[in-house]
Structure 1
Amino acid sequence: MIIKEIRGKYPQIEADCYLAENVTIVGDVTIGKQCSVWFNAVIRGDVNTITIGDKVNIQDGAIIHCTYEKHPTVIGNNVSIGHQAMVHGCVIHDNVLIGMGAIVMDNCVVHSNTIIAAGAVVTQNTVVEPGSIYAGVPAKKVKDIDASAFAGEIQRIADNYVMYSSWYK
């Protein structure tokens, strides 16, 4: 595990979080309660700030970064960042699922209760509507999701990752 100070900033991580043994977390990073960061994930707050809310899971191989002097990365509460996804210099609101291998680029805003499909590429400056599913390259809205879909998928995955992390602690 690499947890390292960069430019006088040391990651601030709540004590109840699970961090896999080979994660890398450096610089100006804040991670909230009940989070988990999985194998080979990288959270690199070397060029700007990264703020991660509560009950966020950052799955295997995911990369969280930001843009020098322009775009910090802010991730809300109850967010799942899928395996090998990349989240870069953007804002992710609460209750969001970023699918496996998806990319969210600089200066994007992903509003609450949203799913970014696996493999989607949310291009720079995109504003993702709340309560929707975006898919494709470049990512476009494919449909609205209702409250039951939200409760059934986004919430289930976030809750499961809290449970999974308890197995490793």
Structure 2
Amino acid sequence: MALILPVEGKLPQFGDNCFLAPNSTIVGDVIMGSDCSVWFNGVIRGDVNFIRMGNKVNVQDGACIHCTYQKYGTTIGNNVSIGHHAIVHGCTIHDNVLIGMRAVVMDNVTVHSNTIIAAGAVVLENTVCEAGSIYAGVPAKKVKDISQELISGEINRIAENYVKYADWFR
């Protein structure tokens, strides 16, 4: 069973049909929507500020979501995939976003809808990522506009697949 702990009297809250891997950790001021999944060794740590997650968010193996004490909570929209070993910290992620494997999204970043943060990218503090774009590199920069094919073929497909994968474990 996942490790779920209160911090300062705040216990994580979960929507309907969420899957929490047995060795995932979710603590503190976390509110998660429906059809979300937190995979093996995933950590969602709402101990020093809030974390809000919409529906159909998947936090893949080894990923970490955190926030910054007295500064930045973390808000994640609907239909968001956070890739294996990614770090999402004190930022705002809008709807229909793919955060690639081992990407880092730092404090006070805003990632607008229909955007891909490429695997290994480092999105520096205070960056605003335009809607409908792909960001890559260290530091991450916009590399191109995203096609409708990538929105449906990658962003939506991955989010939908993770709802299906979670069903395999219930």
Q: Which category of TM-score, normalised to the shorter sequence, fits these structures?
A: over 0.9
- How far has the Cα of 1:30 moved from its partner? 0.4
CA deviations on 1:115-159 (whole Å, 9 max, x unpaired) are 000000000000000000000000000000122221111000000
Q: Which amino acid aligns with 1:146?
A: S
Partner of 1:6: 7
User: Does 1:49 pair with 2:64?
Assistant: no
- TM-score with structure 1 setting the length: 0.99
Tell me the alpha carbon deviations over residues 24-82 of structure 1, each in whole angstroms, 9 at most, x when there is no partner. Answer: 10000001000010000000000000000000000000000000011000000000000
Report the TM-score when normalising by structure 2.
0.98
Supply the distance in 1 between the matched residues of 2:9 and 2:99 (Cα, whole angstroms): 31
Question: 1:8-157, aligned counterparts within 5 Å?
Answer: 8-157=9-158
Q: Which amino acid aligns with 1:142?
A: V
Q: Quote the sequence identity (%).
A: 69
Query: Could you tell me which amino acid in structure 2 is paired with residue 62 of structure 1?
Result: A
Q: Which runs of 4+ in 1 moved over 3 A?
A: none
Partner AA of 1:124 in structure 2: E
Find the residue that maps to 2:84 and give its secondary structure: coil
Q: What are structure 2's unaligned runs of at least 5 residues? A: none
Which secondary structure state, in structure 1, belongs to the residue aligned with residue 4 of structure 2?
A: strand
Secondary structure in 2 aligned to 1:46?
strand
1:101-121 per-residue CA deviation (whole Å, 9 max, x = no partner) reads: 000000000000000000000
| CA RMSD of superposed structures (Å) | 0.5
Distance 1:85 1:149 in 2: 20
